[in-house]
Amino acid sequence: MTLKTFVLTKNDNAAGNRPLPLLSVWSWEIRRVFAKRLNWGFGLASFIFFLGMLWFKHAWEMGTETSFPFILYGTSAIGMLYEFTVVLMLVFAFILPFVVTEGVARDYKNRSHEMLMATPLPTSAYVWGRFLAVLTIGLAQAVLMLLAVLLMGSFLHLRNAVYPQPILGNLISAWGLIVIPPTLLIAGIGFSLGTLWPRKTRTIMLGIVITWVLFYTVGQVLWINPTGINIIYNLIPQFIQTVEANFASIPVSQRDIWVGQLQAVSPNLGVWVLPQYSLASFGILLVLVAAIAFKRFRNELE
Residues composing the chain: 302
**What minimum distance in Å lies between the beta carbon of 289 and other proteins?**
21
User: Is the CB of 9 or the CB of 67 nearer to other proteins?
Assistant: 9
118 belongs to the binding site for other proteins (CB under 8 A):
yes
Distance CA 145, CA 151 (A): 10
Between the alpha carbon of residue 146 and those of residues 229, 271, 293, the distances in Å are 18, 22, 35
User: Is the CB of 91 or the CB of 121 nearer to other proteins?
Assistant: 121
251 belongs to the binding site for other proteins (CB under 8 A):
no
Q: Among 51, 73, 78, 117, which residue interacts with other proteins (rule: CB under 8 A)? A: 117
Instruction: Give the helix ranges, DSSP H, for the chain.
Output: 21-35, 37-62, 77-82, 89-100, 105-109, 113-117, 123-159, 168-178, 180-196, 201-218, 229-247, 255-264, 270-293
**What minimum distance in Å lies between the beta carbon of 126 and other proteins?**
8
Choose the stretch contacting other proteins; rule: CB under 8 A; options: 24-32, 138-146, 192-200, 224-232: 24-32
Between the alpha carbon of residue 260 and those of residues 62, 79, 265, 266, 268, the distances in Å are 16, 10, 9, 12, 18
User: Is the CB of 37 or the CB of 248 nearer to other proteins?
Assistant: 37
**What minimum distance in Å lies between the beta carbon of 33 and other proteins?**
8
Enumerate residues 6+ apart whose C-beta is below 8 A from 127: 104, 195, 287, 290, 291, 294
C-alpha neighbours within 13 Å on the C-beta side of residue 250: 19
User: Is the CB of 7 or the CB of 248 nearer to other proteins?
Assistant: 7
Of 57, 264, 212, 31, give the one whose Cα is nearest residue 148: 57
User: Is the CB of 112 or the CB of 160 nearer to other proteins?
Assistant: 112
Residue span 34-53 as binding mask against other proteins, x where in contact by CB under 8 A, dash where not = -xx-----------------
Q: Among 65, 67, 115, 251, which residue interacts with other proteins (rule: CB under 8 A)? A: 115
246 belongs to the binding site for other proteins (CB under 8 A):
no
Choose the stretch contacting other proteins; rule: CB under 8 A; options: 11-19, 58-66, 190-198, 216-224: 11-19
Distance CA 79, CA 68 (A): 13
DSSP helix/strand/coil, 139 = helix
Choose the stretch contacting other proteins; rule: CB under 8 A; options: 12-20, 50-58, 160-168, 178-186: 12-20
User: Burial of 111 by CB count in 10 Å (0-12 exposed, 13-18 middle, 19+ buried)?
Assistant: exposed
Q: How many CB atoms lie within 10 A of CB 287?
A: 23
User: Is the CB of 36 or the CB of 159 nearer to other proteins?
Assistant: 36
30 belongs to the binding site for other proteins (CB under 8 A):
no
**What minimum distance in Å lies between the beta carbon of 104 and other proteins?**
14
Q: Which residues bind other proteins (CB under 8 A)?
A: 1, 3, 5-13, 17-19, 21, 24-25, 28, 31-32, 35-36, 110-112, 114-122, 296-297, 299, 301-302
